[in-house]
Structures are given as structure tokens and as C-alpha cells.
Amino acid sequence: RSPINQLAAVYRGRGRGRNEAYLEFAQEHFLDWLRLEGLFEDDAVIFKGGTAIRKFVLGKEGRFSTDLDFVVADPIYADHILERLGQRLTHEGVTFVLDKYDAAARKGTWHAETAEHGSSLPASLDFSSRPLLLPATYPERARIPGIERRFLGFEPVSPPVADLLETVAEKLSRFRRSMLGRDVYCLASVSRRIDERLAPLPQPHCLHAYRAPAANGRDPLPLPSHPPTAPPRPPPRTAPR
């Protein structure tokens, strides 16, 4: 059996979920290529978002995410990656094809191709140059059956990962602009993992809530210069005679 079918059978059963297995297989190859390029050294590129939560926090219990999200220390790293993808980068038999590319936003859509399995599901790729508020972490891999050397041909990569507390704060701040079911699911899944760390959450939450709109050219809501005062009470009603 091919590695894709083996992976699908291991974590979904009876070969179901082949499309998701294929994309997860491709994601791991992409992360391994980033490692070989030295892009995870000195936190030049930091992994974040829903796919990072699945691979490093929730494991097989997590929602399968197609997106790959990163923070880069300098936009030149994102430009290098997207340029290489535009040249049909091949790593360990997997070819990555850049379908769409927004140069200004440093976002794109890609898919993988192999001789045996054809094209994978399309997926988005996003790079942010806004610095993280909290230091990157270096967690161990969460357990996902099939994401291991005997299926991949190499050890799963352990890149620098955005602090889970900051990821939660970023998802909460996005609720002010749009409420996505996938974010609700992720937050519900990870909430019990950060109970002991909830005290400092309001600070990164507020900073993300006001920073993101400004970075996207929108005016954030103004911060109050003084505590709001309660509205005046209406005069008491007199009973009719």
C-alpha cells in the first residue's frame, strides 16, 4: 500500500479520508523542506494557527485544518518561500504548486502533486510580518497516528510554534470582525489546556483586537481615555392621586 493509503487507514479507518491524508502528508513534506532551508533557525519562521494547534496540541482529537500560517521575522523569508513555490518546488517526491499569489499580502493558495496520487486538495498559505507578543515555544508533537517516520520517510519536524495563549487571544480578537465556526471549535477544544494560564489572557487579547484592524488599514475602536460614567437616573415616578 502507498504511504497515503496507509496514513488514511491509520487515522480514519478503511482508507477513508484519503484527501485529508494526502494533504497532511504534503504539509509534513513542506515543513520538512522549510527545515532543510534553515528557515526555522533563530525563529526566522514561526508556525501558528489551526494546523499548528492540531499538530502540536490536540493531535488526532483536533479539527483537520488545510491552512498553513506562519509569522516571519522579515518579509524576505516569505518572499523566498513563495518564489520557490512559484517554481514548482519538489521535495522527497512531492511537488508544490502555487496556484494564486497576493504579493502585497504575502498570501497564496497551493496544492501538492505526486506521480502516484495526482493533485491534493487546495490549501491556503499565509505569512504575517507582525511580531508575536509572546516568545515562540518549542513543544513536542501531539499524537497523530501515521505522522511518523515509517510513513513519511523522515522524522516529523518540530519548528518554533506560536504560544498557545497568543493563538487563543488572536482567535478571540477575530470574533470582533467575523465569527467562524472553526475558531469556536478550536477555542472549545483548547480551553481546558490553558485554564492555569487564563489570568494574562486579556492583555494579548486586547492588543490583538486593536492591532489587527490598524495593520489592515482600518481604524480600530478608540480606547477610552477615562472610565465611562453611568447614565443619569430618570426622576422617580410619582404615584397618581
Give 128-172 pLDDT, tens digit per residue.
999 998 899 999 999 888 898 988 999 999 999 999 888 887 877
Whats the size of the chain, residue-wise?
241
Task: State the pLDDT at residue 214.
Answer: 45
Q: pLDDT digit string (tens) for 98-112?
A: 999 898 999 999 999
Task: State the pLDDT at residue 196.
Answer: 58
Task: State the pLDDT at residue 146.
Answer: 84
The DSSP string of the chain is: --HHHHHHHHHTSTT--HHHHHHHHHHHHHHHHHHHTTTTGGGSEEEESHHHHIIIIIGGGSPP---EEEEESSHHHHHHHHHHHHT-EEETTEEEEEEEEETTTTEEEEEEEETTTEE---EEEEEE-SPPSS--B-PPPPP-TT-SHHHHSSPPP---B--HHHHHHHHHHHTTT---HHHHHHHHHHGGGSGGG-TTTHHHHHHHHHHHHHHTT-PPPPPPSSPPPPPPPPPPPPPP-
User: What pTM did the predictor assign?
Assistant: 0.77
Task: State the pLDDT at residue 151.
Answer: 86
Q: What distances in angstroms separate CA 80 from CA 74, 86, 127, 189, 233, one per listed residue? A: 11, 10, 12, 34, 62
The set of residues, in sequence order, having a beta carbon less than 8 Å from that of 1 and lying 6+ positions away, is 9
Task: State the pLDDT at residue 12.
Answer: 58
Residues 36 and 92: beta-carbon distance below 8 Å: no
Residues 148 and 184: beta-carbon distance below 8 Å: no
Cβ atoms within 10 Å of 78's Cβ, excluding its own? 24
Block means of pLDDT (10 residues each) for the chain, length 241 residues?
Answer: 69 66 94 98 96 90 87 97 95 95 93 93 94 93 89 94 87 67 67 60 50 50 44 53 53
